[in-house]
Amino acid sequence: MMTLYSIATCPFSHRCRIVLHEKDMDFQVIDVDPNNIPEDLAVISPYGKMPLLVERDLVLYEANIINEYIDERFPHPQLMPADPVMRARARLLLHRFEKELFCNIEALENNDRKSIDRIRADMSNGLTMIAAVFDKQKYMLGDEYSMLDVAIAPLLWRLDHYGIKLPKQAASLLKYAERLFSRPLFIDALTPSEKLMRK
């Protein structure tokens, strides 16, 4: 059985919990205290970060790498596109999410006083640029729910929690977010601490 070591409030761990719940398979999620990561996990996690996936002698870290492994190991429902061109595009977009949005998560989590206003504004601008996509389509890659939707959902869930305000032009993004949040499997994947992040 797969074991995911997760932090209950961590958006990266949240991504992996969503994918585990999307697949009909056995798994366990163990919450780890970020201020007291157990020694046996610290030695197998090179950067000391969660999430961490352990399955027999396989140890994986980095949420997107973990998620692609789960998706390939349990292909139904498939979350990465089957077509190589679409798959490459999906990987590029996952990369851009990290470089342009999720690179700010640590500062948002730490509520870094000096830079927090600028970071919130950058996040708001970055997300507003994506919003136009949802004038024409239901999900990030078209009409099918995919790994791209999994990757962005934890950030959209945390907008209020991180103090990120979106302008009116981003209304279609907020509608899209509600579409993601209403999926029963999305709700199953939330930890009690995440449930408290939104009223």
Size of the site for ligand GSH (CB under 6 A): 10
Q: How many CA atoms lie within 13 A of 34 on its CB side?
A: 13
Angle made by CA atoms 179, 182, 187, in degrees to the nearest 5? 135
Q: Does 63 bind ligand GSH (CB under 6 A)?
A: yes
Q: Does 50 bind ligand GSH (CB under 6 A)?
A: yes
In angstroms, the CA 86 to CA 89 distance is 5
The amino acid at 56: R
Q: Does 100 bind ligand GSH (CB under 6 A)?
A: no
Among 31, 41, 49, 139, binds ligand GSH (CB under 6 A): 49
Helix extents (H) in the chain: 11-22, 39-44, 63-73, 84-100, 105-110, 116-131, 133-136, 147-157, 171-181, 184-189, 192-195
The amino acid at 83: D
Nearer to ligand GSH, 52 or 141 (CB): 52
Among 31, 55, 62, 144, binds ligand GSH (CB under 6 A): 62
What is the closest distance, in whole angstroms, from the C-beta atom of residue 138 to ligand GSH in the complex? 26
What is the closest distance, in whole angstroms, from the C-beta atom of residue 51 to ligand GSH in the complex? 6
Among 7, 79, 130, 180, binds ligand GSH (CB under 6 A): 7
Catalog residues that contact ligand GSH under the rule CB under 6 A: 7, 10, 12, 34, 48-51, 62-63
